[in-house]
């Protein structure tokens, strides 16, 4: 084989091979693509976890509101001595658990549930949990309507209101001593329930650094793990009593 033919053969072999620089570039591109794909996958998993957590919390809130709404719609007017053991005569609802720090806000409401054998029922907030209690039987323990992982804004966690305010009922220039709503012919009372809660997905919107809730605004709570103020959401629903006394 002549020298010229050997040179051509070596040239062809060199053309078929990869240089070290080319191998490094290819590996770098490959690792970059793999890293980007892993990052996207992890982000999707984290987002999915956040969405599922948020959906779970919203479902729990929806259940509590639906449960309370169903019972509150079926409240009856206190008319008999037995009824008066629950709420004053002429009352449909009685607001309970007042919080003087929140300008007269009430954390509880009591009523007579005519669809449950006229039991004296009360919904109230205490120690970070919303409870349902059958007041007719003192030995009955309250049942939690919200789980431990539902975080309320303890500065302003919940509010029960009648007809949008707590103005006392007045008749013949005589006003009741309690800020509640006794019977008023021709008028259906409306109950407003306001919940101030933390939704897991909102943790992405962090505020100032904090050590406890006192370092945050009234509509935020302190995430002790991240030491950041997290905004809370206000969820409100208004219902009216069903008029079952129509002749």
Mean pLDDT for each consecutive 10-residue tract of the chain (247 residues)? Answer: 55 61 84 86 76 79 91 88 86 84 79 89 91 80 86 85 56 43 54 85 68 76 77 86 57
CA distance linking residue 237 with residue 146, whole number of Å: 16
Q: Is residue 203 part of a domain?
A: yes
pLDDT of residue 243: 61
Total number of domains constituting the chain: 1
pLDDT of residue 174: 41
Q: Is residue 37 part of a domain?
A: no
Long-range contacts, stretch 63-66, CB < 8 angstroms, 24+ apart: 63/145, 64/130, 64/145, 64/146, 64/195, 65/193, 65/195, 65/235, 65/237
Three-class SS state of 24: helix
Helices (H), the chain: 3-16, 20-73, 81-84
Q: Is residue 28 part of a domain?
A: no
Compute the residue count for the chain. Answer: 247
First to last CA, the chain: 119
Q: Is residue 10 part of a domain?
A: no
Q: Are 98 and 111 in contact (CB under 8 A)?
A: no
CB contact set of 79 (below 8 Å; sequence gap of 6+): 89, 90
Structural domain that includes position 52: 47-240
pLDDT of residue 18: 66
Q: Is residue 167 part of a domain?
A: yes
CA distance linking residue 123 with residue 184, whole number of Å: 23
Q: Is residue 181 part of a domain?
A: yes
Tell me which residue of 94, 95, 112, 113 sits closest to 104, measured CA to CA. 95
The predicted model scores a pTM of: 0.68
pLDDT of residue 120: 92
pLDDT of residue 183: 45
pLDDT of residue 56: 79
Three-class SS state of 199: coil
Q: Is residue 62 part of a domain?
A: yes
CA distance linking residue 162 with residue 157, whole number of Å: 17
Q: Are 93 and 77 in contact (CB under 8 A)?
A: no
Tell me which residue of 86, 132, 130, 137 sits closest to 112, measured CA to CA. 86
Q: Is residue 14 part of a domain?
A: no
């Amino acid at each position: 084989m002549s020298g010229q033919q050997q040179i051509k053969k070596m040239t062809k072999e060199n053309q078929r091979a990869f240089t070290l620089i080319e191998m490094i570039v290819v590996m770098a591109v490959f690792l970059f693509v793999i890293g980007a794909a892993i990052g996207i996958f992890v982000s999707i998993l984290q987002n999915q976890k956040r969405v599922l957590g948020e959906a779970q919390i919203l479902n729990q809130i929806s259940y509590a509101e639906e449960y309370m709404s169903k019972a509150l719609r079926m409240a009856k007017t206190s008319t008999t001595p037995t009824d008066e053991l629950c709420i004053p005569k002429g009352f449909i609802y009685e607001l309970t658990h007042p919080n003087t720090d929140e300008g007269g806000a009430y954390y509880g409401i009591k009523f007579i549930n005519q669809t449950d054998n006229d039991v004296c029922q009360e919904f109230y907030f205490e120690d970070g949990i919303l409870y349902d209690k059958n007041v007719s039987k003192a030995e009955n323990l309250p049942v939690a309507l919200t789980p431990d992982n539902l975080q309320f804004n303890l500065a302003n966690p919940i509010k029960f209101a009648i007809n949008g305010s707590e103005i006392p009922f007045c008749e013949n220039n005589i006003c009741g001593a309690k800020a509640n709503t006794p019977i008023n012919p021709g008028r259906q009372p409306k109950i407003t329930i306001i919940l101030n809660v933390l939704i897991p997905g909102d943790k992405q919107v962090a505020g100032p650094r904090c050590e406890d809730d006192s370092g945050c605004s009234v509509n935020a709570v302190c995430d002790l793990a991240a030491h950041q103020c997290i905004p809370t959401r206000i969820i409100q629903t208004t219902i009216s009593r069903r008029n079952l006394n129509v002749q």
